[in-house]
Structure 1
Amino acid sequence: MKKLPIGISTLSSILNDDCVYVDKTALIHQLVNSGTYYFLSRPRRFGKSLLVDTLKELFEGNEPLFQGLAIHPLWDWTKKHPVIHITFNDGVHTDRAQLDTFIVGQLKKNAERLGIKLQEGLISQQFVQLIEDSVQAYSQPAVVLIDEYDKPILDQINNPARAAELRDSLKNLYSVLKGRDKLLNFVLLTGVSKFSQVSLFSGLNNLNDITLDARYSALCGYTQRELEHNFREHLAGADMPRVREWYNGYNWLGESVYNPFDILLFIDKGQQFRSYWFETATPSFLLKLLKSGRYYLPELERFKVHETQLGSFDVDKMTAEVLLFQTGYLTIHKTLQMGNQLGFELGYPNIEVKLSLNTHLLSELTPTSSHAAQVGFKIYQALADGELEALHHILNAFFASIPYQWYTNNALDQYEGYYASVFYSHMVACGAQTIAEDSTHFGRIDLTVIVENKVFIFEFKVLNSEQSDGSAMAQIKAKHYADKYRDGRELYLVGIEFSKQTRNIVGFEWEKI
């Protein structure tokens, strides 16, 4: 019998007719033996569904599939638990009536598989009956696995009223799990986002959220060791440091991991560096939220939040930073002690996300008539050639191409960070290496940009005047920002001043050191 792909995400992925296995069952055994009720949040395409499928086969006692894996000698294969497996992975959920019909179908499918005949009634009543009758039929406590528990809500996230309606429908289902300890052996809910206990899991206060548990940080995804060991033949000849920069970096307080989807497509496409994961779903709602919230985009490289901010959110109380973290566009870089509270410094996990997110942000921050993509090519070439006057001309022409009406319709004339944010996104999207808020002994450089053997130190100022005052370049010199990069590379100091009145650059000073 062919082995079940035990492990995470793409264990079973076929690469040139070879099956690649990454054994995560030691972690699964630890999880099962440490508690009963669990919640796990991970971004899309990280292997949550495969984790759920693995647990299903394990609790059903399908021993041949686990031969040779870490958990095999540790598991009691004589016990066959009834497993109730509910998944919201398929389809788009449009309204409460459609969702209720879908849930009933899931319950009936489980009942048929377990040999139980469900009575007509409310969804909550049918779920209770399914649990009770399966326990009686199997003489073992039941296992409940709910995959992508939040997808119906996220399908309608840009419609808060509809999302709240679907949330209430799901609340009726999940409330059944409360107070049934004697009937349940193991419960796991997986999803992308963590909704508040009050709004969705009311009363289910024994649900152990392992999203930020260092012990299970690598439960989904590939660690560096797993990548190098299990995919060694398929990654022969690959530039491994670059692979790590492009696809590693997702962290939940433990060991960082790669997104499995990226790795498999990277191998399948002949080791081409592309944004495989990001391209599967452009986060249009998030882009609009970032724009409407007037976020200063360079801060996303080092965004500080309290622990409580990342814990959960609700459809009527959403912030971009929480959604960016929960959906995988930001990850934890550092743990901080913020007074009496624990905090985190968030940032992009890798080059793929940083490059792709900023490329798409440009489409939200600029009108289509500005031709941002073509501007990016010109910017990179100007930097590579050290042609700062050409860069000045390109940027002037770009900001001048944005019509007055577009500013007023978007209230961008009141958003001081807009100019620097657009400049920053251009630098990232053009392919340059960027370091925002670059720390030195004397302060922080607004933006350091590195292209080939050239280093550019940028300082931005937004002025209420139509005339330059030289303050940007003056700060670079006063703070001795250049000292950090006196290492033999070509070094350029660039002070840029934007005018809120003219909506363009009024000061552009540069020097080559």
Structure 2
Amino acid sequence: MTRKLYPIGIQTFSEIRTNDNLYIDKTAYIYRMANSDGKYFFLSRPRRFGKSLLVSTLLSYFGGRKELFKGLAIDNLENEWAEYPVLHFDLSGGKHQEEDQLNRYLDFILKDNERRFGVECDAVDANVRLANLIASVYKKTGKQVVVLIDEYDAPLLDVVHQDERLESLRHLMRNFYSPLKQCEPMLRFVFLTGITKFSQLSIFSELNNITNISMDEAYAGICGITKEELLTQMSDDIDRLAEKLSITREVAIQQLKDNYDGYHFTYPSPDIFNPYSLLNCFSKEKIGAYWFGSGTPTFLIEMMRKFGTTPMDIGESEMADVSDFDAPTETMESIVPLLYQSGYVTIKDYDEDTNLYELGIPNKEIRIGLFKSLLPNYLTRSSQRGKVAIAQMSVLIKNGDIDGALELFRTFLATVPYCENTKYEGYFQQLMYVVFALLTDYRILVEQRTSKGRTDITLETQDSIYIMELKFDNTADEALAQINANHYADAFAMSNKKTIKVGIGFDVKDERNITDWKVER
């Protein structure tokens, strides 16, 4: 069977359908939303998760382009196919801009919509222009207007850690969105997408009748590719990948799951795969880190510094109340909402008794990509050599040579230039966590709870569990003694894997390196 072309980098629904590219059918969600109570909707999803394609699909739907939907779910649901005038605003072009630049960009996208409908306006202010545009189109067509706003928060994300710049740009965007409420009688449907929630924008403070469907169970699979969609609509793609990689279909599915699955945007929720990574994987016929390769989480790293968040804080599971997911970005008290909204952690479980959600890193692609992006913060100019050393350590551990891996790590650390702020235990513990978290194919836990205390680092491979204890300015013998005295290994007695205890001594003050280690198998 000849495969359909993958729409890599194509976010226009009409182009995908006209060219008969692969399209994962999400039109049942669109029909439900367009024909439900209310007319204002907001959806938050991470970047590269199909939000723009969803907006483009709504554009074609409300444009009455019935021919594009032939054979899709909505073809059997919609009978009227009414055509509405649609105003489409893509704010993704407003990134990395100062106030005057953003003003000019708003002028540009307003002019584009005014030109399409033959509307003229002498006003300068963006909010007046938008109000006039909606009213003029409503009067000209005699029909209610549809407003679609993609990536509404794009101009604000990169300055979220800069209070003064954030305030000025937020004020500008607040004015731009303000007409949406006053124009309500002239509007048929309003849909906004973004990554985060800025509560002080008018769409969330003044437009108090907006429906946030981000955590609605009915829309859990509206973006991304569910496991069911993968196994049915992409079944042939799985087989082609398996043949290319010379593995079984079952192994291919497991590798796709390990690398790209794991997202849940509510509970209960189907398993959601990252669509950008999945399509690139099938297109290149190779398991790779595609989502992280498409962008650097600069704003996330800046916010980690602002909140004093360490890599270990992200790597460990976190409990969150439902209100944390909806916390205003500019007033949040922890980095958890931003990590969740941006896709670096996701919902793993839910406790009905406490009404708390368990959060964790979704998959291997995110874990490896995130910690690689954090590595330069600890190794400065040595980060490239560090990646090479980590890859070599991974092979040594895979072969059961923990001594060789630690010797390699010690040799590498001896080449790293340090500054004054590295003279504390937390720095080295965080560095070691990042390094071990980057070891391919292994599960890493820090300060894992046992009945007798917490292990410093637990590294789980395919056939072994390494229990590591670090002693700063102390000996490996004392570190190993603590493992035995607290019976840390007992917690893994039922695992059917070899348990290997590793005591590590570390000199923080002078050598700033591993001094010795002891291994007990």
TM-score (norm 1): 0.87
User: Which structure has more helix as a fraction of its residues?
Assistant: 2
Query: In 2, Cα distance between the equivalents of 1:420 and 1:496?
Result: 12
Does the residue aligned with 2:394 lie in a helix, a strand or coil? helix
| Structure 2 letter corresponding to 1:90 | G
Offset at residue 450 of structure 1 (A): 3.1
Offset at residue 288 of structure 1 (A): 4.3
Query: 1:59-89: per-residue Cα shift (whole Å, max 9, x none)?
Result: 1211111222222343353532221111112
Query: 1:218-261: per-residue Cα shift (whole Å, max 9, x none)?
Result: 10011011112111222215311111111111110122311111
Residue equivalent to 1:334? 349
Provide closer, same or farther for how the CA distance between residues 417 and 322 of structure 1 changes in structure 2, counting only shifts above 3 A: farther
Residue 453 of structure 1 contacts residue 490 of structure 1 at CA under 8 Å; is this kept in 2? Answer: yes
Superposed CA RMSD: 3.0
Offset at residue 431 of structure 1 (A): 0.9
Matched, 1:261 2:276: yes
Corresponding residue to 1:187 among 178, 185, 190 = 190
Does the residue aligned with 2:178 lie in a helix, a strand or coil? helix
Query: 1:340-370: per-residue Cα shift (whole Å, max 9, x none)?
Result: xx43222111110101111221111222236
Provide closer, same or farther for how the CA distance between residues 166 and 291 of structure 1 changes in structure 2, counting only shifts above 3 A: closer
Query: In 1, Cα distance between the equivalents of 2:488 and 2:165?
Result: 54
Matched, 1:413 2:423: yes
Provide closer, same or farther for how the CA distance between residues 361 and 455 of structure 1 changes in structure 2, counting only shifts above 3 A: same
Offset at residue 46 of structure 1 (A): 0.9
List runs of 5+ in structure 1 lacking aligned partners: none
Residue equivalent to 2:260? 247
Does the residue aligned with 1:134 lie in a helix, a strand or coil? helix
| Structure 2 letter corresponding to 1:295 | T
Which residues of 2 match residues 33-432 of structure 1 at below 5 A?
A: 33-34=35-36, 35-77=38-80, 79-90=82-93, 92-157=95-160, 159-197=162-200, 201-237=204-240, 238=242, 239-253=252-266, 254-270=269-285, 272-291=286-305, 293-301=307-315, 302-315=317-330, 319-336=334-351, 342-369=355-382, 371-404=385-418, 406=419, 408=420, 411-414=421-424, 416-432=425-441
TM-score (norm 2): 0.86
| Structure 2 letter corresponding to 1:194 | K
Query: 1:18-52: per-residue Cα shift (whole Å, max 9, x none)?
Result: 62122111111111222211111111111111111
Corresponding residue to 1:479 among 461, 484, 487 = 487
Query: 1:403-456: per-residue Cα shift (whole Å, max 9, x none)?
Result: 34x2x2xx3435x43322211221222314113155656665443323443331
Query: 1:254-312: per-residue Cα shift (whole Å, max 9, x none)?
Result: 22311111111111112x11101110111133234435644342342312333333313
Residue 467 of structure 2 contacts residue 500 of structure 2 at CA under 8 Å; is this kept in 1? Answer: yes
Does the residue aligned with 1:127 lie in a helix, a strand or coil? helix
Query: In 2, Cα distance between the equivalents of 1:442 and 1:402?
Result: 35
Residue equivalent to 1:509? 518
Offset at residue 337 of structure 1 (A): 6.0
Query: 1:118-144: per-residue Cα shift (whole Å, max 9, x none)?
Result: 343422112111111222222222111
Provide closer, same or farther for how the CA distance between residues 473 and 372 of structure 1 changes in structure 2, counting only shifts above 3 A: farther
Q: How many residues align?
A: 496
| Structure 2 letter corresponding to 1:434 | R
List runs of 5+ in structure 2 lacking aligned partners: 1-6, 243-251
Query: In 2, Cα distance between the equivalents of 1:130 and 1:18?
Result: 34
Residue 355 of structure 1 contacts residue 429 of structure 1 at CA under 8 Å; is this kept in 2? Answer: yes
| Structure 2 letter corresponding to 1:32 | A
Provide closer, same or farther for how the CA distance between residues 389 and 510 of structure 1 changes in structure 2, counting only shifts above 3 A: same
Query: In 2, Cα distance between the equivalents of 1:61 and 1:13?
Result: 16
Deviates more, 1:36-45 or 1:310-319: 310-319
Query: In 2, Cα distance between the equivalents of 1:186 and 1:357?
Result: 37
Query: In 1, Cα distance between the equivalents of 2:81 and 2:351?
Result: 47
Provide closer, same or farther for how the CA distance between residues 31 and 222 of structure 1 changes in structure 2, counting only shifts above 3 A: same
| Structure 1 letter corresponding to 2:340 | F
